[in-house]
A and B are shown apart, each in its own frame.
Chain A
Amino acid sequence: MKKSVLVGIGATVIIVLGIVLAIPYLQPKTETITQTPTTTSKNIVLNGAGATFPYPLISTWTVQYNKIYPNIMVNYQSIGSGGGIRQHTNKTVDFAASDAPLNEDQRKAAPNTLHIPITIGCVVVAYNLPNVPKGLKLTGELVAEIFLGNIKKWNDPLIANLNPEIQLPDKEIIVVHRSDGSGTTFVFTSYLSIVSSEWNSKVGKGTAVQWPTGLGAAGNEGVAGVIRGTPYTIGYVELAYALQTKMSYAYLKNKDGNFVEPSLESTAAAVEALSPILPKGDESWEKVSLLNAPGKDSYPIASFSYILVYKELSVLPKMDKEKAIELVKFLYWAIHDGQNYAPNLQYVPLPKSVVNLNEETIKSITFNGEKVWDLA
């Protein structure tokens, strides 16, 4: 190799390393804010990221909120719950959204995180059986058996006994699951872990699990697409997707023994049944579960979607008092006026009891120890 090339490479290494090391010192010092006007006409950008499931709702909020307060821009990137939690832990966003509450380790990594349930999701078991439009009856145990690969045929006696009025075909069941890590998967596998001990010990629950059988497709759209395009498939999707794409879905047996059709009403019934025992916003939500809720009309597979924020907002490097006020005002709007946009988008609006709980949580947010709500 020519000497000049070596010199060039050496120079590159030194210069690039020099730049990398110098970056922290080159950044201008942030100005300290002396004045704190309570209402601002300054343009403010609030950044959020996280779960894909509430994305249609949150993005509607950002548009509507910007119409009311033109100087406030709320950005939300739907990068997935895991990504949202990562950015929240790294303090790179002002708020995050997640379909799963933080577990103990995650709470330790991001201490003083508040959970604010913003909407409720419902997972349906969708299938493609020619000539069986909807209303195939299934129990949680049967769904687990199918997804474990123990029940292989549609005309298995266990399915046939529940559905005497339906002529079931002698065909192999093709299981379709999510291939990408997903909050929907977390909800669905959590439900299967509750109703089937074999599922719990062999597979467990998580945003991604080791599926014993079947094929994976990315996103609710992907799973819905495969199911609609392929007869004799079964899978799970969010209620919104099943309704919008007019898929066939199963009625599931709930804790009280009734077969319940998934709908906004039956999901709301599950939330109502559990709302008296919810924790406070700054407590651990790890144990909160709408799954297999009691009540005769409760649909068994439902879950909250959460917004995650820090209780003390000054821990965020890019946060200032003005921004903190606007963030709190946005969150307050989201759990009140924002809920009006939910039903049209097939989300379940929060019941009054949950809204009251959230109000308390939002009012406890501080900036440098001061209650932000009192400043607004």
Chain B
Amino acid sequence: MSPDDVFKYILGFISGIVVLTLFLMVLELFRYSLPVLSLKFIFGINWNPVVGSEEYGILPYILGTLVTSAIAIFVGVPISLGIAIYLSEMAPNFIRTILSFVIELLAAVPSVIYGLWGLFIFRFWVRDFIEVPLSKHLAFIPIFQGEPFGLDILTAGLILAIMIIPTVSSVSREVLMAVPDSQREAAYSLGATKWEVIRLGVLSYAKSGIVGAAILGLGRAIGETMAVTMVIGNAIGPAALPTSLFKAGQTMASLIANEFNEADPTSLHPNALIGVGLILFVLALTINLLAQLLIWRILKIKEGAVE
């Protein structure tokens, strides 16, 4: 066996560990959640761990996860894209260096810090400057109903939006910077304005990369636990259905974090919580696969366009 072969096998071994870990993880999640898995588990809305009247349905938490992540994407991605465009297309060099550094620093802040800041400061801003005016003037729209108190689905979504901005904006910036200058020069030579250059020459070229960046953000938003747990209000059962933005809710990750420690090992409660983990895993996997498909489709269209 040549040294090259040895090297090859070592690397193969290392990548094998990842595959094996993933496989064992799914196996264990599945094994422990088997006693509770059923359609009622996924579409039920009652969550009652009281021994004797146990019942587990996780629809409110699936919806809670999707709604908070959606808020994060709708608010976070446009802002991130704005930052990325400014940094790659407009900012003078020294601002670019400083700003990029600060944004990357933001990505290194542990999520519990965001949670604490959310709990002690940010939620009052959300309540006083966003929720109170909205509930005063737009209360006829169902999603703006209820007494605002700042610990709710909207606050959780906005905290998530802030948390995904560093990731999404720095990846998008890399993508935009990788767009060849010939694209921009071609647009300018046709007499395009700055906006048109960005829209036609740069953004359309970088589309797949930007979608990829947004998916990275979505991945973080779906799995985020600590910060969400601290601001989402942690309602349970039917009370956790996200019928209004100003209602306390619950995500799958926050439910696991909240209840796992004290779950009675002789009841089905731990199994149900592991089941939540399994569904969360499947959800994250599905979204990643869809994103992959989306990126392939975009790439394919572009190849066609080039021909």
On whether the beta carbons of A82 and B51 are closer than 8 Å, the reply is: no
A225 CA to B115 CA, complexed, in Å: 13
Does A167 reach chain B (CB closer than 8 Å)?
no
How big is chain B's contact interface, by range?
35 or more
By a CB distance below 8 angstroms, the chain B residues around A211 are 235-237, 239
On whether the beta carbons of B149 and A230 are closer than 8 Å, the reply is: yes
On whether the beta carbons of B234 and A207 are closer than 8 Å, the reply is: no
Does B28 reach chain A (CB closer than 8 Å)?
no
Within 8 A of A (CB), among B228-260: 229-230, 233-237, 239, 248, 254, 258-260
By a CB distance below 8 angstroms, the chain A residues around B47 are 210
On whether the beta carbons of B261 and A181 are closer than 8 Å, the reply is: yes
Does B193 reach chain A (CB closer than 8 Å)?
no
On whether the beta carbons of B262 and A80 are closer than 8 Å, the reply is: yes
Does B52 reach chain A (CB closer than 8 Å)?
yes
On whether the beta carbons of A181 and B50 are closer than 8 Å, the reply is: no
Q: Please judge, given known A-B contacts A9-B15, A211-B235, whether A86 and B151 are in contact too, CB under 8 Å.
A: no
Closest to A107 in B: B266
On whether the beta carbons of A216 and B235 are closer than 8 Å, the reply is: yes
A85 CA to B266 CA, complexed, in Å: 10
On whether the beta carbons of B264 and A9 are closer than 8 Å, the reply is: no
A68 to chain B minimum Cβ distance, whole angstroms, is 32
Contact digits for B200-233, partner A, Cβ 8 Å, 1 yes 0 no: 0000000000000000000000000000011001
A79 CA to B262 CA, complexed, in Å: 8
Closest to B55 in A: A210
A15 CA to B239 CA, complexed, in Å: 49
Closest to B261 in A: A80
Residue from the set B10, B12, B236, B262 with the largest chain A CB neighbour count within 10 Å: B262
Q: Please judge, given known A-B contacts A216-B258, A217-B234, whether A8 and B50 are in contact too, CB under 8 Å.
A: no
On whether the beta carbons of B151 and A215 are closer than 8 Å, the reply is: yes
- Number of inter-chain CB pairs below 8 Å: 153
Within 8 A of B (CB), among A196-239: 203-218, 222, 225-226, 229-230
By a CB distance below 8 angstroms, the chain B residues around A80 are 261-262
Does A182 reach chain B (CB closer than 8 Å)?
yes
On whether the beta carbons of A216 and B19 are closer than 8 Å, the reply is: no
A184 CA to B114 CA, complexed, in Å: 27
Q: Please judge, given known A-B contacts A4-B8, A12-B17, A210-B46, whether A83 and B234 are in contact too, CB under 8 Å.
A: no
How many residues of chain A have a CB within 8 Å of chain B? Answer: 52
On whether the beta carbons of B16 and A215 are closer than 8 Å, the reply is: no
Does B159 reach chain A (CB closer than 8 Å)?
no
Contact digits for A1-42, partner B, Cβ 8 Å, 1 yes 0 no: 000111111111101100000000000000000000000000
On whether the beta carbons of B265 and A206 are closer than 8 Å, the reply is: no
A3 to chain B minimum Cβ distance, whole angstroms, is 10
Does A374 reach chain B (CB closer than 8 Å)?
no
By a CB distance below 8 angstroms, the chain B residues around A203 are 50
Q: Please judge, given known A-B contacts A209-B48, A210-B48, A215-B149, whether A225 and B119 are in contact too, CB under 8 Å.
A: yes
By a CB distance below 8 angstroms, the chain A residues around B263 are 82, 181, 207-208
Does B9 reach chain A (CB closer than 8 Å)?
yes
Q: Please judge, given known A-B contacts A4-B9, A8-B9, A11-B12, whether A216 and B48 are in contact too, CB under 8 Å.
A: no
Contact digits for B123-148, partner A, Cβ 8 Å, 1 yes 0 no: 01000000000000000000000010
On whether the beta carbons of A215 and B234 are closer than 8 Å, the reply is: yes
On whether the beta carbons of A13 and B12 are closer than 8 Å, the reply is: no
Closest to B255 in A: A179
A5 CA to B5 CA, complexed, in Å: 11
- Of A10, A89, A182, A225, which one neighbours B265 at CB under 8 angstroms? A89
Within 8 A of A (CB), among B96-115: none
Does B269 reach chain A (CB closer than 8 Å)?
yes
On whether the beta carbons of A8 and B15 are closer than 8 Å, the reply is: yes
- Of B5, B13, B151, B261, which one neighbours A180 at CB under 8 angstroms? B261
A244 to chain B minimum Cβ distance, whole angstroms, is 18
Does B11 reach chain A (CB closer than 8 Å)?
yes
A-B contact pairs, 30 of them (CB 8 A): A4-B9, A6-B12, A7-B9, A7-B12, A8-B8, A9-B16, A11-B9, A12-B16, A80-B262, A82-B261, A83-B262, A85-B265, A86-B265, A105-B51, A109-B265, A172-B147, A207-B49, A207-B264, A208-B262, A209-B48, A210-B46, A210-B49, A212-B237, A213-B239, A214-B235, A215-B152, A215-B235, A217-B151, A229-B120, A230-B150
Given A6-B12, A210-B236, 13 more contacts at CB 8 Å? A4-B12, A8-B8, A16-B20, A179-B258, A181-B261, A181-B263, A182-B262, A204-B53, A206-B264, A210-B48, A211-B239, A215-B152, A225-B119
A-B residue pairs, 4 tightest by C-beta: A8-B12, A181-B262, A12-B16, A216-B234
